[in-house]
Amino acid sequence: MGNIIEANASTFDNLLTNELPVVIDFWAPWCGPCRMLSPVVDEIANELEGKIVVAKCNVDENQDLAMRYGVMSIPTVVMLKGGTEAMRSVGAIPKPKLKADIEANL
């Protein structure tokens, strides 16, 4: 099972030091599309285990992180490689598209 990290102020900087690309799902509990995308992100975390690190960031609890990455609407998935943004997806997109976008940037 892919290990999903909760991204918050205390864990975020450590995430950026990871050798693997980091995929961050910016979400909120009240967001319907976020709830639709969450299991898709979970499945991708399992399927790409060992190739990526997956984190979820609740924007209600971590507004500073959302602002830092220019998250204007949710769900937003951002992939960071070496701390630099390599990919961004906004909205609840189908799993094949999200997985292909992530794999294209590995």
pTM: 0.95
pLDDT given at position 16: 86
Amino acid residing at 98: L
* Within a domain: 40: yes
Over residues 53-67, mean pLDDT: 96
* Within a domain: 106: no
Asked if 31 is an active-site residue, the reply is yes
* Within a domain: 37: yes
Look up the domain containing 92 and give its range.
4-98
Cβ within 8 Å of residue 104, ≥6 positions away: 87
* Within a domain: 72: yes
Asked if 57 is an active-site residue, the reply is no
Catalytic residue among 22, 23, 24, 31: 31
Catalytic residue among 34, 48, 52, 59: 34
CATH number, residue 46: 3.40.30.10
pLDDT given at position 79: 97
- Residue-wise pLDDT for 85-101, tens only, equals 999 999 999 999 999 99
pLDDT given at position 95: 97
